[in-house]
Structure formats: structure tokens, C-alpha cells
Amino acid sequence: MAVEESHERAEGGGGEASEAPRKSKPKVVLLALVGAAVLALVGAGGFFAASILGGGNKAKLAKGEPAGAGEESAKEPKGGEGGRGEEGKKEGLSNIVPVDPIIVNLIGDDGRRLMKLTMQLAMATTAGATEAQGKMPQIKDSVITLLSSRTAEELLTPDGKSRLKEQVMTRVNSLLTGGAVKNVFFVEFIIQ
């Protein structure tokens, strides 16, 4: 009888020790899947919370207000002695107006050269930034017309980029009545 028990254990037929590894493998896989699901839910919840709590700038931009306009006015004194007020505010983050990416065909090479330009306009005042947001279709049209009349060779040199910035400022300033562009920042400048 003792010989039969030892023989069964050797073959793995009757002992509890041989069943334990079989059961633990599915438990580990199940635990890993549950852990991954929990991490995914926590990540999604964090993204959702961040978009609700920090998504105010997108809503302001959609309404035509520059990003950060509400936060700036709460921090700075308005009017009075030492206060600059809203109209006297100089360049700041709320005066930067992003322009959506522009893709155009350049002249020459039978129109096979493409340019992608993403830029930001630094406005003199917050009121100018608000006006530029409201006139964005006209601004983009003017820049597209300007870019599509240039060759890649003109735009690839440092001097060509500087002249382009000046021309963009001149064109945008001609569209605005109450604001002025102080600087143009090229964020993305690709020619293929």
C-alpha cells in the first residue's frame, strides 16, 4: 500500500501538490487582466478629470477669447495707482494668438513643393488678440495667398524667413483696426 501511494505521487495522480501549479497559472493571468483593467480605468478617469478641470482654455478660444484672459485679469490690479488696467496691458501669454497649421503648394516645380506653416501671433494688447481671433479666417486667407506666391528657394534661407515674418505682420496689421501684431513666431516650418 505504501508502495502504491509513492507510485501515485511520482506519476502526479493523487497528490494536492500537483494541482496547485495548475490552478495558480489561471489566477495569475486573471489577476494581471484585472490589474490592467484597473490601470486603464484610472488613466481614463484622470484624463477625463483633467479635461474637465483644465479644459477652460479651449472653450475660451472657441468663443474668440484669448487663452488665459480670465486668469490674467484676476492676478493683475485694474486701474488705480500702480495698476496697468486692461487696455494698458503689454505683451503677455494672453496676447499670443495661435494660428492653425496652413498647408500650401509653393510656386515652381509644377506645384509639387508643399509647405506646412504653423505660427503664433504676438499681439500688442489683449483687445488686439481678441480681434485677431475674430478675424482668423481673413488672416489665414491672407497668409495662404502670401505663401502660395513664393518659391521654396525664397523661403528656405534665414533672410527669406525674416522677410516672410515682416510680410505676415504687415498683412495681418492691415486687417486689424484696434490691434497690432508685435511679432510672429514660426512654430512649425516644413517644406517638402
Summarize pLDDT for 139-159 with one digit per residue, the tens.
999 999 999 999 999 999 999
Do residue 116 and residue 170 come from a single domain? yes
Residues 33 and 96 placed together within one structural domain of the fold: no
Q: Are residues 160 and 105 in the same domain?
A: yes
CB atoms under 10 Å from CB of 135, counted, come to 18
The answer to whether the Cα torsion of 55, 57, 58, 59 is positive or negative is: positive
Residue 16 backbone dihedrals phi, psi, to 5 degrees? -75, -25
Using CA atoms, how far residue 77 sits from 70, 84, 124, 129, in Å, is 13, 7, 19, 20
Domain contains 82: no
Could you tell me if 184 and 94 lie in one domain?
yes
Residue 12 belongs to a domain: yes
Q: Are residues 103 and 36 in the same domain?
A: no
CA distance 20 to 37: 26
Residues 117 and 179 occupy one common structural domain: yes
C-alpha cell at 127: 483687445
Domain ranges, residue 105: 89-191
> Phi/psi zone of residue 190: left (φ > 0), alpha (ψ -120 to 50 degrees), beta?
beta
Are residues 107 and 185 both part of a single domain? Answer: yes
Q: Which residues pair with 105 in a beta bridge?
A: 114
Assess if residue 116 is contained within a domain. Answer: yes
Q: If you average pLDDT over residues 19-26, what whole number do you get?
A: 62
Same domain, 97 and 181: yes
Residues 109 and 30 in one domain: no
Q: Does residue 64 sit within a domain?
A: no
> Do 27 and 97 share a structural domain?
no
Would the pTM of this model clear 0.75, i.e. be above it? no
Does residue 9 form part of some domain? Answer: yes
In a domain, 129, yes or no: yes
Would you say 70 and 76 are in contact if contact means Cβ atoms under 8 Å apart? no
Of 44-58, 94-108, 138-152, which range is least confident?
44-58
Predicted pLDDT of residue 77: 38
- CA–centroid distance for 134 within its chain: 20
> Is 136 part of a structural domain of the chain?
yes
Cα dihedral angle (17, 21, 26, 30), rounded to 10 degrees?
A: 100
Unique residue bearing C-alpha cell 522677410: 163
Q: Is residue 160 part of a domain?
A: yes
Q: Residue 186's pLDDT is what?
A: 96
Confidence of residue 22 (pLDDT cuts 50, 70, 90): low
pLDDT of residue 115: 95
- State the chain's mean pLDDT as an integer: 75
Highest mean pLDDT among 34-38, 65-69, 73-77, 146-150: 146-150
State the pLDDT confidence band at 165, using cuts at 50, 70 and 90.
Answer: very high
User: What pLDDT is recorded for position 28?
Assistant: 82
3-state secondary structure of 5: helix
Q: What is the pLDDT of residue 34?
A: 85
Domains identified in the chain, total number? 2
Copy the grid coordinates of residue 11.
Answer: 506519476
What size, in residues, is the chain?
Answer: 192
Same domain, 111 and 178: yes
Pair 95, 40 in one domain:
no
Query: How many whole angstroms from its chain centre is CA 100?
Result: 11
